[in-house]
Amino acid sequence: MEYLGAGDAGQMAPASAGKNKILCCECGVPIEPNPSNMCVACLRTHVDITANIPKQAIVFFCRNCERYLNPPSEWVQCSLESKELLSVCLKRLKGLKEVKLVDAGFVWTEPHSKRIKVKLTVHGEVMDGVVLQQVFVVEFTVNNQMCDDCHRTEAKDFWRCLVQVRQKSINKKTLFYLEQMILKHKAHENTLGIKPSPSGGLDFYYATDAHARKMVDFLQAVLPVKVTNSKKLISHDIHSNSYNYKYSYAVDVVPISKGSLVCLNKKLQQPLGHISPICLVTKVANAIHLMDPRTAQLAEVQNLAFWKSPFEAICNPKHMIEFIVMDVEIVRDHEKKNFPGQGPVSFRHILADVWVVKASELGINENTIHTRSHLGHLLKPGDSVLGYDLQDANINNAEFEKLKQESVPDLLLIKKSYDKTSRKQTRNWKLKHLTEDVALDTDIENDYNEFLEDLEEDPELRQNVNIFKDTSKSIPVDTNDMEDPSVPRITLEEMLDDLVLDDVEMAEA
């Protein structure tokens, strides 16, 4: 404890000033005059400015979420010896308002001792304006207490809001793309739990309605979706007029995916540049990207336009048949069909007249089929290509039945085919998932493999996907090490290093 006088009491006094000293009324020691007429030692025996400040206190810590209780009911994330933890500790001391806090700091303790020591320096005014400074240590005991959020989690009643993502379609590639978008932008950080649905989809659980709405807004920004919400009354306090609801959001993703074939109605064809009614889905992002395979004309269907006039896939990638290319002839510019009001045309694709034979009939009954395709930059005689045989397909669609027979092509080629087995064995990258509890049956596994192939073939698609190196497989350095260099692959520059934390025992010196 120290005495803090006013003016120049702390400075060295001249020799003549020694006569101005007085004797302490308790012990008789010469001191500078002060209102109490006592020295610091005697004043300490009579007055303790920290008497009303407890020297021991308790702070509460939740072991599940590693947060501290900030009175009265807030739980905050604090690290040891941080400003946030110091603020929590000081709020537990009731008598600090009676003195002036000058300094506060931590005294080192063992991290596992469940003890936190804080060194405080305070000023207090006693006996007619005498200011005393005192330094003391307060010891806080860390007690474990489960917070309300963790308590609800343990009681299996932890969620207040549920976001259900579903897609009513045969192919689930759009859901796989949505999963990677969520991981890329870390939109699932505030979730309490993520569970897969047996019908195909994901359930996101949240503690507050604000976090659930943030997730719904993200889904509406990245995909054409339709959202319906509902709430269920859990409890009602008639005295305080408070209600406890559980909210649910049902998010329906568009029932089509990349590679699907759709049939548009006349209301949609006109605003889309009078595109052909039968179109190929090239991409499903914040809008549905369509292309006419016979003219390479492009179109985009926005979210509101789709749900106002919804359409379904008449053919899915599972219905594609393998064909063998017999001959390819590039279509010249003057042979292309152009008309007033036509929409944009793709410059990435080249139109060509292609003659193909079904792979199942090769060598038996080689009926050559002619079609016009947008894959002129990829195909050459002898290649395998996948397409839809509309002549023999069983299509049950009201808009398709309205089309005239001469406007329906016999065959539409969709993508070049490669050996699936070799592509899967030489794939030296992997993706992460939101949950590992998904039971992969044959259909879902085939859809996932098709999604991986789409990532390899489309550089724009994998811009929103985090791709990691698969250390279990060797990465070819030279093209001579590859079985087929023409197979689309993801370059090493596009892959990320997966963080793996392994506990390695240190060798003794």
The pLDDT tens digits of the residues spanning 466-491 come to 888 887 776 555 544 455 667 888 88
Pull the structure tokens for residue 496.
């990320």
- Band the pLDDT of 8: cuts 50, 70, 90: very low
Classify 202 as helix, strand or coil: strand
The pLDDT tens digits of the residues spanning 270-307 come to 889 889 999 999 999 999 999 999 999 999 999 999 99
> Once rounded to an integer, what is the mean pLDDT over residues 450-457?
89
- Band the pLDDT of 21: cuts 50, 70, 90: confident
Return phi, psi of residue 318, to 5°: -70, -20
- Cα 240 → chain centroid: 38
Pull the structure tokens for residue 92.
């537990």
Return phi, psi of residue 364, to 5°: -110, -65
**pLDDT in the model for residue 508:** 47
Q: SS3 breakdown of the chain: % helix, strand, coil, rounded to 5?
A: 25, 30, 45
> Once rounded to an integer, what is the mean pLDDT over residues 49-53?
82
Mean pLDDT of the chain: 83
The pLDDT tens digits of the residues spanning 86-122 come to 988 888 888 888 888 888 899 988 888 889 999 999 8
Torsion of CA 297, 301, 302, 306, to 10 degrees: 180
Q: For strand 130-144 and strand 56-62, is the pairing parallel, antiparallel, or unpaired?
A: parallel
**Mean pLDDT lowest among 227-236, 376-385, 410-419:** 227-236
Percent of the chain with pLDDT over 90: 31
The count of other CB atoms within 10 Å of the CB of residue 262 is: 22
> Once rounded to an integer, what is the mean pLDDT over residues 49-77?
87
**pLDDT in the model for residue 360:** 87
Model confidence at 355: pLDDT above 50: yes
Q: How far apart are CA 476 and CA 482, in angstroms?
A: 7
The pLDDT tens digits of the residues spanning 121-144 come to 988 877 666 777 888 899 999 999
Model confidence at 10: pLDDT above 80: no
**pLDDT in the model for residue 352:** 94
> Once rounded to an integer, what is the mean pLDDT over residues 393-419?
89
Tell me if the pTM is above 0.85. no
Q: Which amino acid belongs to residue 46?
A: H
> Once rounded to an integer, what is the mean pLDDT over residues 56-62?
91
Pull the structure tokens for residue 372.
């016009």
Q: Which of 223, 211, 228, 234 is nearest to 256 (CA)?
A: 223
Compute CA distances 420 → 321, 356, 426, whole Å: 14, 21, 10
Is-contact 116 85, C-beta < 8 A?
A: yes
Q: How far apart are CA 114 and CA 144, in angstroms?
A: 10
DSSP 373-419: ESBTTT--TT-EEEEEETTT-----HHHHTS-GGGS-SEEEEEEE--
The pLDDT tens digits of the residues spanning 171-219 come to 888 999 999 999 999 998 888 888 888 777 899 988 888 999 999 999 9
Q: How far apart are CA 299 and CA 407, in angstroms?
A: 19
Is-contact 88 70, C-beta < 8 A?
A: yes
**pLDDT in the model for residue 1:** 52
> Once rounded to an integer, what is the mean pLDDT over residues 345-371?
88
Model confidence at 391: pLDDT above 70: yes
E runs forming strands in 193-311: 193-196, 201-206, 225-237, 242-253, 261-263, 278-284, 288-291, 298-301
Q: Which segment, 40-44, 450-454, 477-481, is predicted with the most confidence on average? A: 450-454
Instruction: Return the ∠ at Cα 237 (arms to 234 and 241), rounded to 5°.
Output: 115
More confident: 251 or 240:
251
Which residues 6+ apart lie within 8 Å of 35 measured at CB?
A: 127, 128, 129, 130
Is-contact 296 344, C-beta < 8 A?
A: no
Percent of the chain with pLDDT over 70: 88
Q: How far apart are CA 161 and CA 34, in angstroms?
A: 67
Model confidence at 506: pLDDT above 70: no
**pLDDT in the model for residue 387:** 94
Using CB atoms within 10 A of its CB, is residue 117 exposed (0-12), middle (13-18) or buried (19+)?
middle
Q: How far apart are CA 133 and CA 122, in angstroms?
A: 6
Instruction: Return the ∠ at Cα 173 (arms to 169 and 176), rounded to 5°.
Output: 120
Model confidence at 311: pLDDT above 60: yes
